[in-house]
Structure 1
Amino acid sequence: MDTVGWVLLGVVLLGVLLAALATSRTRTLTGRVGSFDCAVRHPGRTSGALTPGVAHYGVGRLDWWRVRSLSPRPASTWQRSELRVVDREPVGPHSEHLLVHCWYSGEPLELEMSSAAYAGLTSWLEAAPPREHGIVA
């Protein structure tokens, strides 16, 4: 095998390794208790597509990981005491997903999730200790 063949083999093996790592990471994130699919439009962005991800309840915070990433750390973390749910609306006429309008530290934040995940989010916010109580309108 010549040099070009070895380089191509290395690139293919690297691609397979990265795909395996991404699949393992996604399975690990979605398999955890307290995790749910959640797309996000970050604060300050009033337009553009929502970024798909996985959210997970932590102690007093909601962590969010991008689906298309290899990072072991969450891309965003929102403290329960600063998160306010303002409104929700169906994503489509026959969809069970909701677009949830929130405020986080004075900036707009939009989350898309299933109606079951929304029920869990609002319960989690309302179950906070009195001083850390997130608001659900």
Structure 2
Amino acid sequence: MAYVVWTAVALVVALGLVLAAGASRLRTLSRRVGSFPCHARPADDPQAAWMVGIAHYAVGRIDWWRGWSLAPRPARVWLRDGLSITGRAPLDQAGQPDQVLVRCRYDGTDFELLMSSGAYAGLASWLESAPPGRRDLVL
């Protein structure tokens, strides 16, 4: 009987530690300077579920982290040289105020990002401020 109780206690403690680690990671990522909430999905399937995440500007790239994950590395990394915005649509009329659907291409792969209008303005500015010779990044 004691074995069952200790096993249950160990499972509850392990679950609590995993949840605490995930919440701490999410809080740390969202508080970094240059971070913003950003959902992602493949562009070829508009019915696909959005992957909740946090994007973070780094030197010459954007790191995208899954919202609930314990991975120590970003799930996606988009270098400025290979990333372009191919379209955007404000979602105010769809009942989502201050949200922008951003269509992107990175190294020939199309995907969509969902972010606030302020985050989109920052992304567009970041791409437009690329070194000379890279003026084709924003539509």
> Normalising by structure 1, what TM-score?
0.92
* Paired positions, count: 136
Say whether 1:112 aligns with 2:114.
Answer: yes
Is the Cα contact below 8 Å between 1:56 and 1:63 reproduced in 2? yes
One of 91, 98, 101 as aligned partner of 1:99: 101
**Deviant stretches of 4+, over 4 Å:** 131-134
Unaligned 5+ segments in structure 1 are: none
Matches within 5 A, 1:123-134: 123-131=125-133
Residue of structure 2 in register with 1:7 after alignment? 7
> Normalising by structure 2, what TM-score?
0.91
Matches within 5 A, 1:50-129: 50-93=50-93, 94=95, 95-129=97-131
Is the Cα contact below 8 Å between 1:82 and 1:134 reproduced in 2? no
Unaligned 5+ segments in structure 2 are: none
Measure how far apart 1:91 and its partner are. Answer: 2.8
Deviations 1:46-88 (A, max 9, x none): 2301101000001111100000101110000011111111111
Q: Distance in 2 between matches of 1:58 and 1:106?
A: 22
Residue of structure 2 in register with 1:23 after alignment? 23
